[in-house]
A and B are shown apart, each in its own frame.
Chain A
Amino acid sequence: MPVEVRLPTILRPHVGGVATITAEGKTVGELFDGLVARYPSLKGQLVTETGDLHKFVNVYRNDDDIRYTGRLDTPVAENDVVSIIPAVAGG
């Protein structure tokens, strides 16, 4: 079912500049696979080569960090909003 995905400024150029897109899938992983299929330059930005969530990206299903809800296996339902927010970090 279609789920709204909100993208951070830094990823918007990969999808033609929009802030929000609709993706299909039953889990966050499926949503991301679909997005990468549509926008190949997103490859490697969200999910690493080993298939795990990129550590410099925070992903929330509604307001829950998916690291606590099953990571890429986190289920998503219609009307959920998945927000991608870059990690804020440094030294």
Chain B
Amino acid sequence: MPGGQGPGAGFTEPTLRLPRSEYLKIVGHCYDGLPDEACGLLAGRLRPGSLVPDGRIDAVYPTANADASARTYSVDSRDLIRSLRAAEARGLELVGVFHSHTHTEAWPSPTDVRQAMEPGWFYVIVSLKDGDPVLRSFRITDGNIQETPVVLES
């Protein structure tokens, strides 16, 4: 795109821009959830006139995993509406979800792909399988996985 730097080869837009504090909140919630998968919602703004997020995550809402499972997650339905209202109160939209993979890599599983309902969203996965957490971000549309770049910001 003119005047700017697009995502590198193999990545799609938009870049996920995570304030460092929100990154730490996500990772902390994932470790707190062990031995189960943890999950939470991401809020931000949309590009004007579009269903695509602008990429910056303005708020993170840790939520309960109603499945209480190390293999699957579902955002508790009451936490979902509460997060939606909290985002709305700040003029934000829900733009994604994060969840942890306790023993596998940070890549969408077949279950993740099958149950991805929001084509505009970021699907963020945090793998806890190694000593340090690995956070990666994806868009999932019509069963296709595309990774987005992730940048930590202040």
Give chain A's interface residues, CB within 8 Å of chain B. Answer: 8-10, 56, 58, 60, 63, 65, 67, 83, 85-91
- CB contacts (< 8 Å) of B108 on chain A: these are 90
In this complex, what residue of A is CB-closest to B40?
A88
The 8 closest A-B CB pairs, nearest first, are A91-B111, A89-B74, A90-B112, A86-B117, A88-B75, A91-B72, A58-B77, A65-B77
Q: List 22 A-B contacts (CB under 8 A).
A: A9-B51, A9-B120, A10-B119, A58-B81, A63-B81, A65-B81, A67-B77, A83-B81, A87-B74, A87-B75, A87-B77, A87-B117, A88-B39, A88-B97, A89-B74, A89-B115, A90-B72, A90-B112, A90-B116, A91-B72, A91-B73, A91-B111
Q: Would you call B109 an interface residue if the criterion is a C-beta within 8 Å of the partner chain's C-beta atoms? A: yes
**A65 and B72 in contact, given A86-B117, A87-B115, A90-B99 (Cβ under 8 angstroms):** no
Size band of the interface chain B makes with A: 20 to 34
Q: Is B84 an interface residue (CB 8 A)?
A: yes
Check A91/B71 contact, CB under 8 A, given A65-B77, A65-B78, A85-B84. yes
